[in-house]
A and B are shown apart, each in its own frame.
Chain A
Amino acid sequence: MPLATLAFTIATIWIFLHGSATPGHFFVGLVLALFIIRFLKKSYYQDRTFFRIGSYFRFMRSFIWELFIANIQVLKIVLAPRLSIRPGIIPYKTVCKTPLGVTMLANSITLTPGTLSIDVSDDDETIFVHTLDIDHPDEVAEGIRVGLEEPIVGAVE
């Protein structure tokens, strides 16, 4: 997305957030957009004109499903009469190459069943995942790979 388009998109989102579509507020949005872009350009700006919309929706669907499962699971763990968790930290090798992909993956890991991303290694290749079910590390990794990583790779990489 060219920077100008990005700025206008952010300004439009600002209008929606604010709830009043006057030129003045659009201008405020543009000023905010300039600040946002100024600070985040280095880390996230990628010269891509469009997302692959289809794959993006596939990711959203998969993500919402995982989110649902995650909440049922938290519900079960928290309200069970006796806590039965086996926490631990496992490394997860990611195939995501771009900063956007790794960020999306780490973010999604936190919101999905039994997993929480704690840190990303310096070479951006390994995400350290805190899990509540350490006895089945392969299943946890497989869940991330199928449920999140593949859709993300399809959408943004």
Chain B
Amino acid sequence: MSDALAAVLLLGGSFFMLVASVGLIRLPDVYCRMHAATKATTFGMGGILLGASLIFQSTTVTTQALLAIFFLFLTAPVAAHLISRAAYKRGPDLCADTAHDEYGKYLEGQKEEEESPDQYGDA
């Protein structure tokens, strides 16, 4: 029984990893791709780790798997956040379908503030 459950978890996990990879290829720009890369990989990885802990049936492996899942959920979004932020500031443009961009306006506003230094009274 637990073997069957482990198999389901492992296969399901691998499937979501596959979905993430297909997403990386199909989606149009770096930001959309991060959606697939973060969500589906954390979920897929979680499934694979849980499946592994079911197979090994040992306290050590289970705690390690649970901790790995926990840390994965903590770190994956941080990486995605930094990658997309860096991408926005340095290079790749938003894809042509992008309908709305408030972040660009915010950065423009910041630039204007920097260009008028008298605002800070250090002229």
Which residues of chain A have a CB within 8 Å of any CB of chain B? 13, 16-17, 19, 67, 70-71, 74-75, 77-79, 83, 85-91, 106-111, 114, 116-119, 121-122, 126, 128, 130, 132, 134-135, 137
The number of A-B residue pairs with CB atoms under 8 Å apart is 131
| Pairwise interchain contact A116-B102, C-beta atoms closer than 8 A | no
**Is B52's beta carbon under 8 Å from chain A?**
no
**Is B19's beta carbon under 8 Å from chain A?**
yes
How many chain B residues touch A (CB < 8 A): the figure is 46
Main secondary structure of the interface of B (DSSP, over half): helix
**Is B101's beta carbon under 8 Å from chain A?**
yes
Q: List 23 A-B residue pairs with CB atoms under 8 Å apart, sorted by A's residue number.
A: A19-B60, A70-B39, A74-B40, A75-B40, A78-B26, A78-B27, A83-B27, A87-B94, A87-B95, A87-B97, A89-B100, A91-B106, A106-B77, A106-B81, A107-B74, A110-B80, A111-B39, A111-B77, A116-B34, A118-B103, A119-B103, A128-B106, A130-B34
- Chain A positions within 8 Å of B29 at CB level: 87
Q: Tell whether A118 pairs with B31 under 8 Å between CB atoms, given A89-B104, A91-B102, A107-B78.
A: yes
- Chain A positions within 8 Å of B26 at CB level: 78, 83
Which residues of chain B have a CB within 8 Å of any CB of chain A? 16, 19-20, 22-23, 26-29, 31-32, 34-36, 38-40, 42-43, 60-61, 63-64, 67, 73-74, 76-78, 80-81, 84-85, 88, 94-95, 97-104, 106, 110
